[in-house]
Structure 1
């Protein structure tokens, strides 16, 4: 049986272009819950940004490895330090992505944290935090 990556799907009436523009800037959606600080760029392939949250509890560095306008965004976590986990680099090598598609009169957004599986020590806490961020994003996009 394959590992189950964390995923979240929702729909909105906003256009794929508007959604893409919002998602490409993590400051617009990965923010506002845990004293986050985001530095760097996330606009073009190979851009790198740093995400810090929880007053030093969560530190990750993401590199934009795939960008298809209005369709797909993929960041690879190239460094991580999760001080609350025994394996502090648990996120390193995982991928965070959004896939955007038209479905009927809606835009469908599929978020996946590829590599964040129930086998990870941080899975419960991390998936819970993702749910908070993504539910807020969904609310703001509707």
Structure 2
């Protein structure tokens, strides 16, 4: 039984939930436009539209995400094509599922598919996502995110 629960933990994807006062449309814009992504994560270029590619300026080198799904106010899915700063991410998928909160605002269900404890980078990446999802929240709800290299703060 212990091995089964350990294996389940090792294969569980990183997931998080973020609540926003803002509408699903506002959260979607922060995930689907280069201006939006640049405001909470890293400088971005390219296209956040479905079928497009986002190029992110990570230190020490770029990352490219294919936008597999971009359903307005509902869902965004990126597939990691290249990632110089974190090669373990190549082939993983990043899911953002949006839903209206019962009391107003938006709930984001976040999942980085393939980011599991089996990867050497898991703890570092979990800390990074915790930081950048809080930055996304602040960017959307207050207009001031914390994009860029979190280690230079």
Judging by fraction of residues, say which structure has more helix: 2
1:29 maps onto 2:34 in alignment: no
Matching of residue 74 in structure 1 with residue 86 in structure 2: no
TM-score, with length taken from structure 1? 0.81
Please show how residues 1-142 of structure 1 align to structure 2 within 5 Å: 1=8, 3-25=11-33, 26-31=37-42, 37-42=43-48, 44-54=49-59, 56=60, 59-82=62-85, 89-104=87-102, 105-142=104-141
Runs of 4+ with deviation above 4 angstroms: none
CA distance in structure 2 between the partners assigned to 1:69 and 1:80 by the alignment: 26
CA distance in 2, matches of 1:12, 1:5: 23
Give 5+ residue unaligned stretches, structure 1.
32-36, 83-87
Higher strand proportion (structure 1 or 2): 1
Mean Cα deviation higher: 61-70 or 5-14 = 5-14
- Give a deviation string over 1:80-120, Cα, whole Å, max 9, x none: 223xxxxx631111011211001212311112111111111
Report the number of matched residues.
129
Residues 57-87 of structure 1: CA distance to partner in whole angstroms, max 9, x if unpaired?
A: x5321000011111000010012223xxxxx
| Equivalent position SS for 2:62 | strand
TM-score, length basis structure 2: 0.76
TM-fit CA distance, 1:45: 1.2
5+ residue gaps, structure 2: 1-7, 142-153
